[in-house]
Structure 1
């Protein structure tokens, strides 16, 4: 009787290993905490033929979840590289394969050989294998994803250098990673069209994504941008705030002086008149307990309202400079509030800021100023032409 029971148990174990390869004993990465089936999203499905009629990518929750998974894959690409994992034991691919994407290119820092980004493209062959004949509406042809800081010795130094670069100057343009990301994004935008690609990043990677997307927007190339826990703290911004407060205080003092007769401004509040016509509107995902990104929720100029999960991807105000999605769960530990995994949680509830926040408005000021100057330069040319025609007919 005991021998029969042992045989039955062995048979059941063998069947479980065949039907559930993720837990097979020949896969040492099966129970890794970063494995997709362990820490990935639970309520998200792979594209199917039904997506031909009603695409899941049109749902803001689905899109946010998938793109966050793509960023996680870039973190794991670097960890797989450092741990010399084989194709069978690597973790990264499991985070894009379920969504019918494939790895097209890795962005490598030549100084230390680390992977800091990747381009994922729609995998038509894999989709056809599941009878998905065309790419679902809303699904990008290619996604450029950038990771944040990894506290691993092999890439820690270069990551921290860029962290300090942003902290000191609030600019990442001097980094070789900025140039690499810019070239990569421009290449896929030229190949597929700017409407068919997007860029996304987490933490430091979100800082790169914001500035790379802004650089292309200045060239008239508007790429959908998703920023998870983007950095908002810098010494440069603090100095600007101190300077602005001092200037504001001086204006108030000067206005109270008896000889203050000059005009008190021209009605320009510092915001560009072309904000409402801006074609580039990045998506920002911030947590109020994360001191790295929480300053994007500055209430000065930002109106926050509760929205339904179904409508989380819709914006209520066309004049917003960015779509700001805010998570507030009360007091949280920093690592939890700054983590990427929170953005694919099943119980996620977000608030949306429908007007431009003070910080994002400052960061995009140069972009708006460029658009405004271009409009101003075009107007005189039109009027000059009109005056020339009018004088010619008058004769």
Structure 2
């Protein structure tokens, strides 16, 4: 791809890069060889959000039959010296739901940047969220409902495509040179695919914008945790004896004794303080640290900001770990009188007036979603 913006006849289109893209954008130049712009977290967040926007526009360009003269998508990656390497296609409807963007060495050389700046990934796998347009809406909503019902996207055709694509670029470029990112539903895929690789000992940088947090599964688990708390309190007030198997038995009003195993097995939730946590550093907890960007006004992702009531004044986010390991970094934006569409939108993450706060507390939701990393073993390498 040439180191120039693709000619665009739709100069007034609301999704044109110069219309809705980031303002006061720092251009890469030879100085980045000394002090890399990519080491600035705000710059990195801006660029990666733009890459995800490019995926939305790849699909819209396809739907609207745009040609080389008026396509919108390329202008969202060219200024950052990247090129389109591959698109991820849903074969059922032909829609583009993801893309692999690769560092464009020739474009960088044209601007006297002989090597890739420190912090700039060699490849980025970007995933879009739901598009409420008929050509792809059905498949998008199917996966939305899949998450709402099960809090898992592993049964999706797209999950397999994303997992294979991520494995492929990790093998080609090295996992330390790869980044996966997504918005909304795409963030859900990025989180779960990234976790699948982390369970196998492969760690990639992950940036998740407005990741979905609302699901029936979550609600049932919360109910289960509350039920377990009530049952524990109740047991402390009831007389009991021990059965031959060593299980406590509760006496009812008729003097009959019933084992507590049945109820406990139904409501018990695995604890992060389990013995497996001691080996967490060896199975990914200390090495895979996804970045989550949420907005308190977005009911789809705001549950990630629900803590367990404890907050610590430390320099790094410590979520769900009982031994000081960093599990995830959570960044929150909170604005008053903000409408849902704005709070859930991708544009806020490259906005020049974005005010993010790095939240310091234990997030119940992210701890629960990443729980398998505490009990995974290295033998589970890429078996998902």
Offset, 1:355: 4.1
Distance 2:151 2:185 in 1: 11
Q: Which position in structure 1 is the counterpart of 2:265?
A: none
Greater fraction of residues in strand: 2
Distance 1:301-1:140 versus aligned 2 partners, 3 A rule? farther
Find the partner of 2:39 among 48, 52, 58: 58
Distance 1:194 1:120 in 2: 15
Find the partner of 2:178 among 184, 191, 197: 197
Query: Is residue 254–residue 260 contact of structure 1 (8 Å, CA) maintained in 2?
Result: no
Q: Which position in structure 2 is the counterpart of 1:282?
A: 290
Distance 2:28 2:98 in 1: 24
Structure 2 SS opposite 1:273: helix
Find the partner of 2:30 among 40, 44, 49: 49
Answer yes or no: is 1:69 the counterpart of 2:75: no
Q: Which position in structure 1 is the counterpart of 2:85?
A: 104
Q: Which position in structure 2 is the counterpart of 1:119?
A: 100
Distance 2:312 2:17 in 1: 33
* Bigger mean CA offset, 328-337 vs 55-64: 328-337
Find the partner of 1:240 among 206, 216, 221: 221
Q: Which position in structure 1 is the counterpart of 2:350?
A: 344
Q: Which position in structure 2 is the counterpart of 1:315?
A: 316
* Bigger mean CA offset, 275-284 vs 207-216: 275-284
Find the partner of 1:270 among 258, 267, 272: 272
Structure 1 SS opposite 2:195: helix
Structure 1 SS opposite 2:27: coil
Alignment of 1:32-43 (within 5 A): 32-43=13-24
Structure 2 SS opposite 1:186: helix
Find the partner of 1:210 among 173, 187, 191: 191
* Unmatched 5+ stretches in structure 2: 249-269, 319-323
**Cα deviations by residue, 1:21-69 (Å, 9 ceiling, x for unpaired):** 99xxx95311100000000000222211010000010011000000000
Offset, 1:353: 2.5
Answer yes or no: is 1:146 the counterpart of 2:133: no
Distance 1:146 1:132 in 2: 28
Q: Which position in structure 1 is the counterpart of 2:264?
A: none
Structure 2 SS opposite 1:315: coil
Query: Is residue 302–residue 358 contact of structure 1 (8 Å, CA) maintained in 2?
Result: no
Offset, 1:257: 2.4
TM-score w.r.t. the length of structure 1 is 0.82
Query: Is residue 104–residue 121 contact of structure 1 (8 Å, CA) maintained in 2?
Result: yes
Structure 2 SS opposite 1:300: strand
Answer yes or no: is 1:362 the counterpart of 2:368: yes
Q: Which position in structure 2 is the counterpart of 1:169?
A: 150
Distance 1:168-1:85 versus aligned 2 partners, 3 A rule? same
* Unmatched 5+ stretches in structure 1: 1-20, 308-313, 375-395
Distance 1:304 1:84 in 2: 52
Query: Is residue 57–residue 136 contact of structure 1 (8 Å, CA) maintained in 2?
Result: yes
Distance 1:256 1:373 in 2: 44
Decide which structure has the larger Cα Rg and report it: 1
Query: Is residue 274–residue 371 contact of structure 1 (8 Å, CA) maintained in 2?
Result: no
Distance 1:89-1:119 versus aligned 2 partners, 3 A rule? same
Greater fraction of residues in helix: 1
* Bigger mean CA offset, 96-105 vs 42-51: 42-51
> How many residue pairs are counted as aligned between the two chains?
341
**Cα deviations by residue, 1:346-379 (Å, 9 ceiling, x for unpaired):** 11111112344100000011121114999xxxxx
**Cα deviations by residue, 1:196-228 (Å, 9 ceiling, x for unpaired):** 001000000000000000011111100001100
Distance 1:373 1:88 in 2: 50
Distance 1:342 1:27 in 2: 24
**Cα deviations by residue, 1:47-92 (Å, 9 ceiling, x for unpaired):** 1101000001001100000000000000000000001101120000
Query: Is residue 201–residue 378 contact of structure 2 (8 Å, CA) maintained in 1?
Result: no
TM-score w.r.t. the length of structure 2 is 0.84
Distance 1:105 1:133 in 2: 24
Distance 1:216-1:361 versus aligned 2 partners, 3 A rule? same
Query: Is residue 8–residue 72 contact of structure 2 (8 Å, CA) maintained in 1?
Result: no
Distance 1:201 1:215 in 2: 16
Distance 1:275-1:333 versus aligned 2 partners, 3 A rule? farther
Offset, 1:247: 1.2
Answer yes or no: is 1:160 the counterpart of 2:141: yes
